[in-house]
Amino acid sequence: MRKHDIRTATRTDIEAISRLYENLLHEWNVPPGDDAARGYLHLLERQLEQGAVFIAERDGTLAGAMSYIDAALTQLVPEGRAHLTSAVVVPAHRRRGIASALLHAIASNCRRLGIRRITTDCARDNTAALGLLMRQGFREYDETSRLNQTPADIFLEIDTEMLTAGGQDGRKDQN
């Protein structure tokens, strides 16, 4: 068996994914039942319906998830672009290539849909996520849309073809 299996999430995965994201929100100090938490889980359900959530499983257990929004889900994202909204890997499964594999699965799906640009935002102090994204070839850009709501965030972008090529430096990532 491979280290991990990557696939598009389905409705049957919602409970496990919700728990995973609730743990992530807890790490971010977002209280359960908070408007932000409810909004986040509502968005997750909409993303599931659109096939915009990918999961990694290891030995039949959820090891990570990553999701995005595009023009089909919100007017905030222009046509031809996807915006990564969340990525989480269970701590016990980190540094095993799961986040990289999820990114590549999303890039492949985006290309199939005609999406050529992937963007994301990340807190400047989230060095693990920034390191992963930069190693994959993401580069900083200035975001002028309504997506830029948190001045502490850094906005990053990549062409989907570049991501498939393994990032600008061509190294394999271990996240």
Is 60 exceeded by the pLDDT of residue 156? Answer: yes
Q: Among 16-20, 21-25, 132-136, 141-145, name the one with the lowest average pLDDT.
A: 141-145
Torsion, CA 171, CA 148, CA 79, CA 53, rounded to 10 = 60
Q: Is residue 174 included in any domain, yes or no?
A: no
Which residue pairs from 161-165 have beta carbons closer than 8 angstroms and sit at least 24 positions apart in sequence? 161/111, 161/116, 162/137, 163/103, 163/104, 163/107, 163/118, 163/136, 163/137, 164/104, 164/107, 164/108, 164/111, 165/137
**Would the CA dihedral through 18, 20, 22, 28 be positive or negative?**
negative
Q: For residues 139 and 130, is the Cβ–Cβ distance under 8 A?
A: no
Mean of all residue pLDDT scores within the chain: 84
Give 16-65 pLDDT, tens digit per residue.
Answer: 998 888 887 777 777 766 676 677 778 888 998 899 999 999 888 999 99
Residue 173: pLDDT band (50, 70, 90) is: very low
Is 50 exceeded by the pLDDT of residue 169? Answer: no
Tokens of 131: 């390191």
Q: Is residue 76 included in any domain, yes or no?
A: yes
User: HSE of 76 in the Cβ direction (CA atoms, 13 Å)?
Assistant: 16
Q: Is residue 66 included in any domain, yes or no?
A: yes
Q: Is residue 109 included in any domain, yes or no?
A: yes
pLDDT, residue 152, reads 64
Tokens of 84: 């990564």
pLDDT, residue 135, reads 92
Q: For residues 89 and 101, is the Cβ–Cβ distance under 8 A?
A: no
Q: Is residue 55 included in any domain, yes or no?
A: yes
Residue 25: which CATH number? 3.40.630.30
Q: Is residue 173 included in any domain, yes or no?
A: no
pLDDT, residue 150, reads 63
Domain that holds residue 122: 5-164
Give 64-104 pLDDT, tens digit per residue.
Answer: 999 999 998 888 888 999 999 989 999 888 888 999 999 99
pLDDT, residue 1, reads 39
Residue 116: pLDDT band (50, 70, 90) is: very high
What distance in Å separates the CA atoms of residue 59 and residue 113, rounded to the nearest whole number?
A: 30
Question: Total domain count for the chain?
Answer: 1
